[in-house]
Chains A and B, each alone.
Chain A
Amino acid sequence: MANSTIKRDFWHRFSKNKIAVAGSAVVILLFVVSLLAPWISPYDPGEINLQMVLSPPSGSHLFGTDQLGRDVLSRMIWGSRISLKVGFVATGIAIAIGIILGATAGYYGKWIDGTIMRFVDIMLCFPAFFLILAVIAFLEPSIWNIMIVIGITGWMGITRLVRADFISLKERDYVQAARAIGASDLRIIFIHILPNAMASVLVAATLGVAGAILTESALSFLGIGVQPPTPSWGNILTAGKDNIDIAWWLSLYPGLAILITVLGYNLLGEGIRDSLDPRLKG
């Protein structure tokens, strides 16, 4: 049962790793907050109260109110759902593309590999943020378009990782054995090789979620992402910038939420990497 020993070792190292535990705690907390949003947010995130416009943090509004008198804490709690959704869907798209292209390039090699990797090089020439903005300019900004665009501009790193793993794994004896008993290419790729390449994908995916959340918040901050009145951490910060000289709380808290969330995913990714292979620790 070599497999279960590897898993046990992983969990052992993972639970001893302070970075990994701190990262998981943040990520789990976020899941809980966004799941429980309707029950734990003190106010309706869309409830406008013109008597309470831009009031500073107080007992009734812990994080203050925005330019329409809406409760900032409630909007942040609901905004966590957006971050979670964008992070996972965008990264899911990037991983799907990355695995398919990386596996094809690594497994088949030759001109197929050459073509795909050239395509990767070309995509990497574009400043990612430029490409995302350009595509969004042509579409309408909506949360779905954002997730798709972040996904289709973020698969290149994963393609390179998966390809590298496939090139070394496809020469292994067990792959030769599978081929000898007549397994199809698809079966070899998905059943025999891919599971062994998932470790690096998992790490890249965790870090990818962090990157996607950062990108979404920047887009929403610029007004090209999630559109008001839907609350997102980025678009609360836009209000913060508009009221920069009178309402510091609009700038401070949502940004802190982004920082802690992204930090959580980055720590988790780093923790997974260290626990998968202690030699890589650096």
Chain B
Amino acid sequence: MVPLLIGITIICFTVMHLAPGSPTDLQTQMNPRASAEMKERLRSMYDLDKPLHQQYLFWVGKLIVLDLGRSFSPDRRPVADKILERLPITILINVLSMILIIIVAIPIGVLSAVHQDSLFDKITGVFVFVGFSIPTFWLALLLMILLGVNLGWLPISGIRSLNYEYLPPFSAFIDLVKHLILPVFVSAFGGLAGLSRYMRSSMLEVIRQDYITTARSKGLSERVVIYKHALRNALLPIITILGLSIPGLIGGSVIFETIFAIPGMGQLFYMSVMARDYPVIMGILVIGAVLTLLGNLIADVSYALADPRIRVA
């Protein structure tokens, strides 16, 4: 955990030194987007006149107290505030799509393993390949054209309507849900395909085990064999896969938050990249990695809780 955190900060620190104004950069003079004032602020913020190891220590020291500096944008607000106010909606969408992935992919995987080579298995097999290969931003565009522009069923941008503040609580909630349907579906789609595939192969693996044969031969119903004996064991590796899929989900938030104009961390990251707002970029890079690390930690702990044979060392 701690070595990983240190490694994360070292990589961010290295990326940061690609910025104009750093002593290693020869492009500074060539880069019209970096004004003299910006360079001066970068220099003082990252102590660029000090030796490298001191720069790193100063920077990490500030990081620990969440001092990420101030944004280069005209509002000059602290980076930590800008990120924290946008984090909840991003986490909400990611958690919702995680839940959607779990409740849809696991039954699909189980059913296609139990009925291997059936029509259902073949159809989901095609769906998995398409799901792996489809560009999510294109899927988003198509759904926007179909459900938003042509049919007018769902709003295609933002998270609330213009008249949101005048709506009674229940309608306001419905309004929010309507705005979230497309983003959650789109961000879940790729993961759905992947997870149902893993679930299927994990289930196939378990069904071949001796204890399943034992369960069958002592006369248990197929239902109990599959859903009690097999499913529990097949779910174990899925916990790890879910943990591994977290960086993809967080990274994907840049794309769908930009397309659907959702005011989350991903959109902030995109805008900061376009505006070369270096302090915000660095802040989100660190926070994105730490979130991933936390997600993996949660996956490890749940694995240990779910499987008594494994204890956290």
Residues of A within 8 A of B (CB): 118-119, 121-131, 133-140, 210, 214, 217-218, 221-224, 237, 240-241, 244-245, 248, 251-252, 255, 258-259, 262-263, 266-267, 270, 282
Contact = CB atoms under 8 A, between A and B. Distances in A.
A218 to B, nearest CB: 6
Contacts of B142: 251-252, 255
B11 interface: yes
Contacts of B236: none
Contact of B273 (A123, A126, A134): A134
A223 B254 contact: no
A282 to B, nearest CB: 5
B270 A138 contact: no
B292 A127 contact: yes
B11 A122 contact: yes
A122 B141 CA distance: 34
B300 to A, nearest CB: 13
Contact of A237 (B19, B130, B141, B247): B141
21 contacts: A122-B11, A125-B8, A125-B247, A126-B247, A127-B247, A129-B251, A130-B284, A130-B285, A131-B15, A133-B254, A137-B276, A139-B18, A210-B132, A222-B270, A237-B138, A237-B141, A240-B141, A241-B141, A259-B138, A262-B135, A263-B129
A132 B138 CA distance: 20
B292 to A, nearest CB: 5
Contacts of B269: 130, 133
Contacts of A125: 4, 7-8, 247, 289, 292-293, 296
B273 A258 contact: no
A118 B15 contact: no
B66 interface: no
A245 B157 CA distance: 13
Contacts of A140: 31
A129 B252 contact: yes
Contact of A223 (B134, B250, B259, B274): B274
B129 A266 contact: yes
A137 B273 contact: yes
B135 A122 contact: no
A248 B145 contact: yes
Using C-beta atoms within 8 Å of the partner chain, give the interface range for chain B.
35 or more
B78 interface: no
A210 B289 contact: no
B3 interface: yes
Q: Interface residues of A: mostly helix, strand, loop or mixed?
A: helix
Contacts of B8: 122, 125-126
Interface of B: 3-4, 7-8, 11, 15, 18-20, 31, 129-130, 132-138, 141-142, 144-145, 149, 156, 200-201, 204, 247-248, 250-252, 254-255, 258-259, 269-270, 272-274, 276, 278, 281-282, 284-285, 288-289, 292-293, 296
A88 B133 CA distance: 17
Contact of B135 (A133, A217, A266): A217
A262 B133 CA distance: 5
B130 to A, nearest CB: 7
B198 to A, nearest CB: 10
A103 B269 CA distance: 36
Contacts of A237: 137-138, 141
B138 A128 contact: no
Contacts of B7: 118-119, 121-122, 125
B258 A131 contact: no
A270 B133 CA distance: 13
Given A130-B269, A267-B129, A135 B135 contact: no
When A and B form their complex, which 10 residue pairs have the shortest distance between CB atoms, in order from nearest? Answer: A127-B251, A129-B251, A255-B138, A122-B7, A138-B18, A262-B133, A263-B133, A127-B247, A137-B273, A127-B250
Contacts of B284: 130
Contacts of A130: 250-251, 254, 269, 284-285, 288-289
A50 to B, nearest CB: 25
Nearest to A261: B133
Contacts of B201: 282
Contacts of B3: 118
B285 A134 contact: yes
Most B Cβ at <10 Å: residue of A118, A121, A138: A138
Contacts of A137: 272-273, 276, 278, 281
Contacts of B278: 137-138
Given A118-B7, A136-B273, A282-B204, A126 B138 contact: no
Contacts of B296: 125
A136 B278 CA distance: 12
B288 A251 contact: no
Given A251-B145, A282-B201, A126 B292 contact: yes
Contacts of A262: 132-135
B80 to A, nearest CB: 17
Contacts of B141: 237, 240-241, 244, 251, 255
Nearest to A141: B273
Given A127-B250, A127-B288, A221-B137, A244 B145 contact: yes
B4 A259 contact: no
Contacts of B20: 138
B18 A135 contact: yes
